[in-house]
């Protein structure tokens, strides 16, 4: 699509979303041209420090390294102030190429606080050094470890859930499907919280109309993230990347599906919701008006970001036994 035909997104977003963009612009640091992945990742870590401060206090946090066939995967357990009813695994976003436990620390603290559950952040290996399906397999290994060692960590692993934003939402849903399809018991999956994920659409109306420098989701950007994550062209059709190639007609855990109104990926979320609803699978779709992709990070300034986390927490808790 010619650029002049695209929606002028910056004129449509909410005032609080504009305030975030203005703050980002005023505090932006120059990015070297042709930066390598190490530089890009460090810049992302530095930029997210402000947004991750002032999160709720936990009863405690604990770092645990889990052995997998790929080496050690670092995790961080957030223990809420309440007796935990379940354990929620969190997979961070970042296009599969950036992000870690620190860049999403506040999100995980808020989810632990609002659910009253333990939240375990999984620091899966990033692409392109690690290719599909390594991040999923690492997450499965983490789930199996904590299921086997639940008493050692004072975790309730009888009921679990997955949550994630952007690429992390895809990884969360793909992990839940992986467990189902392979008959791996890590506890009852009581819910999956999917914040503005991508689920395998090759094209869509919103992918054409939205996306720009403000969110790093132009068509070129999306292609680069995919190329970094997948090992080959055949992986594009894998049922754990193109989720719509999986069986979505049976045994799907309750899904809270979140769309950001001016996100080029919102059609992925809408299509997932409509598919699940058509086949009577438990799901709820919630769109947050005036928002851009990644708005969940900005709960220090955006009420809608905090509300989206509260809504997801409420949904998950309603589906616990």
Catalytic residue ranges: 166, 263, 293
CA distances for 148 relative to 80, 153, 186, angstroms: 21, 10, 8
Among the listed residues 188, 304, 307, 183, the one whose alpha carbon sits nearest the alpha carbon of residue 254? 188
Q: Say what the alpha-carbon torsion angle 175, 181, 187, 190 is, to the nearest 10 degrees.
A: 70
> CA 194 to CA 197: how far, in whole Å?
6
> CA 259 to CA 253: how far, in whole Å?
19
- Asked whether the beta carbons of 118 and 156 are under 8 A apart, the reply is yes
For the sheet with 71-79, list strands across it.
60-68, 71-79, 118-123, 87-91, 159-165, 188-195, 255-260, 283-288
Classify the C-alpha dihedral 65-132-110-316 as positive or negative: negative
- Residue 142 burial (CB count, 10 A): 24
């Amino acid at each position: 699509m010619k650029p002049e035909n695209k929606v002028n997104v910056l004129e449509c977003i909410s005032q609080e979303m504009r305030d975030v963009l203005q703050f980002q612009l005023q505090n932006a640091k120059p990015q070297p041209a042709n930066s390598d992945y190490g530089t890009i990742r460090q810049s992302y870590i530095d930029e997210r420090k402000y947004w991750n401060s002032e999160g709720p206090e936990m009863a405690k946090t604990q770092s645990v390294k889990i052995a997998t066939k790929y080496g050690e995967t670092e995790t961080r357990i957030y223990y809420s102030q309440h007796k935990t009813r379940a354990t929620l695994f969190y997979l961070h976003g970042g296009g599969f190429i950036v992000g870690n436990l620190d860049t999403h620390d506040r999100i995980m603290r808020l989810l632990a606080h609002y659910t009253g559950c333990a939240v375990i952040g999984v620091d899966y290996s990033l692409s392109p050094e690690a290719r599909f399906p390594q991040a999923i397999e690492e997450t499965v290994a983490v789930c199996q470890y904590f299921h086997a060692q639940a008493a050692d960590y004072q975790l309730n692993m009888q009921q679990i859930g997955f949550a994630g934003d952007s690429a992390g939402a895809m990884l969360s849903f793909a992990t839940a499907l992986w467990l189902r399809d392979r008959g791996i018991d890590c506890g009852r999956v009581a819910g999956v919280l999917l914040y503005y994920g991508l689920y395998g659409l090759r094209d869509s109306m919103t992918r054409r109309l939205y996306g720009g420098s403000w969110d790093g989701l132009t068509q070129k950007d999306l292609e680069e993230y995919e190329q970094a994550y997948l090992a080959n062209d055949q992986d594009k059709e894998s049922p754990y990347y193109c989720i719509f190639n999986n069986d979505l007609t049976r045994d799907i855990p309750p899904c809270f599906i979140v769309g950001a109104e001016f996100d080029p990926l919102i059609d992925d979320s809408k299509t997932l919701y409509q598919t699940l609803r058509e086949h009577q699978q438990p799901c709820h779709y919630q769109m947050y008006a005036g928002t851009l992709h990644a708005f969940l990070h900005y709960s220090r300034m955006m009420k809608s970001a905090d509300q989206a986390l509260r809504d997801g927490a409420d949904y998950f808790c309603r589906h616990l036994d």
